[in-house]
Structure 1
Amino acid sequence: MELLAPAGSMDKLKMALLYGADAVYLGGKSFGLRAFSDNFSLEEMKEAVSYAHSLGKHIYVTVNIFPHNADLQGLPAYLQSLAAIPVDAILIADPGIFSMARQLVPELPIHISTQANTTNWASVKFWHDNGAKRVVMAREVSLKDVQEIHDKVPVELEGFVHGAMCISYSGRCLLSNYFTQNRDSNRGQCVQCCRFKYNIVEEKRPGQYFPVVEDERGTYIFNSKDLCLLPYLPELYASGLCSLKIEGRMKSIHYVATVVKVYRQALDAYEVDPEHFTVLPEWLEELEKISHRPYTRGFSVSRPTEVDQVYSHASNTQTYEFIGVVRSYDAARHIAWIEQRNHFKVGQAVEFLQPQGHLVRHVITYLTDEKGTEITTAPHPRQLVGLYLDTPLEPWSMMRRKAAAHA
C-alpha cells in the first residue's frame, strides 16, 4: 500500500517524505488546482524529483485543471518538460489534456484525477483501455464500490483517506467563479465560498438580511467536516486500493508531518499483523493536534447525513500550536538547535514529534541564541535558538505546545 502525501512547497515535500510518505503529489506554477499554494517551478521540480528518487520515492504532478482554450497554449511544452525531468506520473482530469499527453509524452504514466469524478467500473475501464496507469476514485464512491471496480478492471486505484472535503460533486464548483469575478475553482483559484456564512436578501427589501437556519446549531450549510478514514484501514486494504491519499497542499508542514506519521505507523502495524490490528488511541490523539474540522468518514461506508456538516463555525480548531523545527542536535552539549516558527520561552511545556523516533515531552529550562548568550524567550521569526535537552532529537522534528484554549 502506497502512502501518498501533499507537497505545497519544498519544505512540505521533505517533511512528507522524511515522516514516512512513499510518494508526494505537487503542482507546478500553472495547470493545477491549487493556485494559492507555493507550488513548484520546473527547476524546483527537478530538485524535488532528485531528492525523492534518492530516497526511493516518487513524485506525481497535478495537471488537472479544466482548461479553456487559452490554457492550452503552453501545455505541450510543459508536458514535455515534466517528462524530461522526469516526474513519475501526472494527474489529469480533462480528456483533451489526456489525449495531448498520450500523444506528446507516451512514456509518462498518467493518473486520472479525482476531479474526473470516476464513480463506476465502466469509466475506470475506459481510462485504463486508453492508457491510464491509475485512477483516483471520486470521493463519492463507497469502499464497496471500489472493491467491485477492483475486481472488474486491472488498474491501480487510489483514494482519499484524510483531509478537507469539498461540498461540490468531485470538487466541481461554480461558487468561487460566480462570487469573485473569475476566480475559477476548476482552474485552481477556489476561495472556499462554501465556508462562508450565508443570509437571504429579498429582492424588494435590499439591505435586509434574513438568517438561513438549517437547525438550531447555525447556518454554515455547505461546511463539510474533514475526512478521516484511519479507523477503516482494514476496509481500505480489502477494497483493493493501492494508494491512500492525504489532502492538504495548502496546509502547514506541521499538518503534513503529523498526518503522514500517524498513517505510516498505522499502515506498518496493519501489514505486520492485519489479523490483530487495532487503531491506537495515541494515533487519534495526534490527529486532534493539527488544524482541522471535526472528522467524518465521508462516503466510505455509508451516505453522509446532516451530522457530517459543521453548522456552528467556519474556522478550523486545533489543540496544539506548531512553534519550531529542529535543525540539529549537539550531543556533546545536549543542545537542540530550533528554528523558531512561533514565540516560545523558558518555563513552557513543549513536545517534539520526530520523523522516526518516539514523542518527546519537555519543559524548557534553558535557551541560548546563536552566539551562546543565554536568553529567556525566542520572539523573532526564523530565529535559531539553542534549547537544552538530554534526549537527542532527530533533524526535522516538530516542536509544539498546547494551544492557549487547551492549556
Structure 2
Amino acid sequence: MMNKPEVLVPAGTPEKLKVAIDYGADAVYIGGERLGLRSRANNYSISDMAEGAAYAHSHGAKVYLAANIVCHENELEDNISYLTEVRDAGVDALIVSDPAIISAVLTKVPGLPVHLSTQASAVNYEAVNFWAKHGLERVVLGRETTFEEIKEIKENTDVEIEAFIQGAMCTSYSGRCVMSNYMNKRDANRGGCAQNCRFLYNLADESGSSLNGDEMFTMSAVDMSLIPVIGQMISTGVDSLKIEGRMKTIHYVSTVANVYRTAVDTYCADPEHFEVDPAWIDELAKISQRRMSFGFFNGAPTKDDELFEHTKPDLGYEFIGEVKGYQDGRVIIQERNNFSEGDELEFYGPNFYHYLTTVNDLQDEDGMKIERASHAMMICSIAIDKELPVGTMIRKKKAAKVRA
C-alpha cells in the first residue's frame, strides 16, 4: 500500500494556522515563546497553542512545535514546566535539535513525541537510526539530501522521515551559521539570525580598493521548489513533505498549502499516470519568493543556485484581501492592499478553486460608493453574481517591475 505523505505547512500565527488547515494542510508547525529559532516572529502563547491544537484536531490535522534552539547551561530546567504545558495544550510533537532537550523531553515530559530538527543535519540512514534508537519518532532530514539519498534513507529506516519541498535554503550547512553572531551579535542558533548572507557586499583588496567597481552582490542561495518533481519525491516513501516559511504571509500559506495538497492528492489517486500540472507551477510563481531551484534534490547545487545579484523581477501579483461574507449579490471583503473600481481580481480557495472577476460597484462598509479601497483592513464590498465562501483569498495582477 502506498504511503500518502503528510503536507506540512508553516503557521507563524494563529490566523495562519487556520488558513493552512482550511487550505489543505495535514499538519502545521509553529513557534512558541521559548526555545524556537524565530525569536522575532509573533510566537504562540500556551493559550494560542491550545486553541490552535483544538482547531487542528477538529479538522483531522496536527500541530508541531519547533523547539530547535541550542541550549546553554542552566537554561534547560527552567523550561521543563513550559514543555509540560506545551504537551497539555495538545501539541502533537516537538521539533528539537539539542540532545539535552531531547533527553529531557523523553524522560521528564512523557507523552510528547519528539521529531529531530533539520538543524541536526541528519543526511544518512546511520544517523537517522541512531536517533530512532534514542526514542525519536521522526527525523527531519537536512536540506542537503538528494533524491537518491532520501530513497536510501527511507529504505533503511523504520522511523518517519520528513523532507523539505518548498522554501528558503541556507548558505550554511543545515542552518549552522555563525555569520549573524559574528557581525551583529545575533545568534542564528538561538533565534536571532540577521540573514547576513542576504546583505549586499563588495569585494576589496587589502588596501580597501574595490575589485569589482560599484557592483554589489549577496552570498545567499535561491529558494527551493520541488513541485516539478513532486511525483519523484512522493515515490521515495517519505512520510511528511515540509514547506518552509513561518514568517510568510497568509497569501503564501494559503497558496503553498493549496498547491501541494492538490499535487499530493492527484499523485496518490493515480501514480502511474501522474503528470505535473503547469498550473501548479504558475500558482507558486504568484507568491513572494526568490528565484527557484531544486536545491540538492538532483545533486550538489551549482553557481546557478546562488543568488549573487541584488535585483529580482517583481512577481506581478499582490495580495488584496479575504472574503468575509456574501449578502444580496455582494461579496464582502476585508482589504489588505489597495484595489480600485475596474481592477481584475482573482479569487482562489481550497481544492485549487479559482474565479476571475472585475471590480464592479465598489462600496464601503456603510454602502457608500467609492472608487478605491485604500485603507488596510477596511471592510468593503463589490457586486458579483457568484457566492464565494468565507475564507476565499483575493489577489490582483500588477505591472511587473524590477526591485532591489
Give the counterpart of 1:274 among 271, 276, 299.
271
The residue number in structure 2 matching 1:137 is 141
TM-score by length of 1: 0.94
Cα distance, 1:240 vs. partner? Answer: 2.0
Q: Does 1:100 align with 2:93?
A: no
AA in 1 matched with 2:54? S
Q: Does 1:339 align with 2:343?
A: no
The residue number in structure 2 matching 1:49 is 53
Please give the alpha-carbon distance, in whole angstroms, between the structure 2 residues aligned to 1:153 and 1:224: 30
Query: 1:225-264 maps to which residues of 2 (within 5 A)?
Result: 225-264=222-261
The residue number in structure 1 matching 2:308 is 311
Structure 1 stretch 255-264 or stretch 397-406: which is displaced more?
A: 397-406
The residue number in structure 2 matching 1:211 is 212
Q: Does 1:294 align with 2:291?
A: yes
Contact 1:166 1:224 (C-alpha < 8 Å) held by counterparts:
yes
The residue number in structure 2 matching 1:112 is 116
Please give the alpha-carbon distance, in whole angstroms, between the structure 2 residues aligned to 1:39 and 1:210: 43
Query: 1:5-404 maps to which residues of 2 (within 5 A)?
Result: 5-181=9-185, 183-202=186-205, 204-205=207-208, 208-211=209-212, 220-313=217-310, 317-330=314-327, 333-356=328-351, 358-404=353-399
Cα displacement string for residues 219-244 of structure 1 (whole angstroms, at most 9, x for unaligned residues) = 53522111011111221122121100
Please give the alpha-carbon distance, in whole angstroms, between the structure 2 residues aligned to 1:126 and 1:204: 50
SS in 1 for 2:400: helix
Cα distance, 1:382 vs. partner? Answer: 0.6
Cα distance, 1:101 vs. partner? Answer: 0.6
Contact 1:167 1:224 (C-alpha < 8 Å) held by counterparts:
yes
Cα distance, 1:355 vs. partner? Answer: 2.2
Cα distance, 1:210 vs. partner? Answer: 4.0
Please give the alpha-carbon distance, in whole angstroms, between the structure 1 residues aligned to 2:206 and 2:78: 44
Q: Aligned in 2, Cα 1:180/1:70: closer, same or farther, shift over 3 Å?
A: farther
AA in 2 matched with 1:230? I
Contact 1:36 1:250 (C-alpha < 8 Å) held by counterparts:
no
Query: Deviation above 4 Å: which 4+ runs of structure 1?
Result: 201-205
Cα distance, 1:315 vs. partner? Answer: 6.1
Contact 2:313 2:400 (C-alpha < 8 Å) held by counterparts:
no
Please give the alpha-carbon distance, in whole angstroms, between the structure 2 residues aligned to 1:157 and 1:297: 19
Contact 2:258 2:352 (C-alpha < 8 Å) held by counterparts:
no
Cα displacement string for residues 80-106 of structure 1 (whole angstroms, at most 9, x for unaligned residues) = 111111210000001011011111113
Unaligned 5+ segments in structure 1 are none
Contact 1:60 1:89 (C-alpha < 8 Å) held by counterparts:
yes
AA in 2 matched with 1:195? R
Cα displacement string for residues 347-389 of structure 1 (whole angstroms, at most 9, x for unaligned residues) = 1111111123621111101111222222221111110001111
Q: Aligned in 2, Cα 1:238/1:70: closer, same or farther, shift over 3 Å?
A: same
Cα distance, 1:77 vs. partner? Answer: 1.2
Matched residues, number: 397
SS in 1 for 2:309: coil
SS in 2 for 1:244: strand
Please give the alpha-carbon distance, in whole angstroms, between the structure 2 residues aligned to 1:51 and 1:85: 12
SS in 1 for 2:255: helix
TM-score by length of 2: 0.94
Contact 2:80 2:109 (C-alpha < 8 Å) held by counterparts:
no
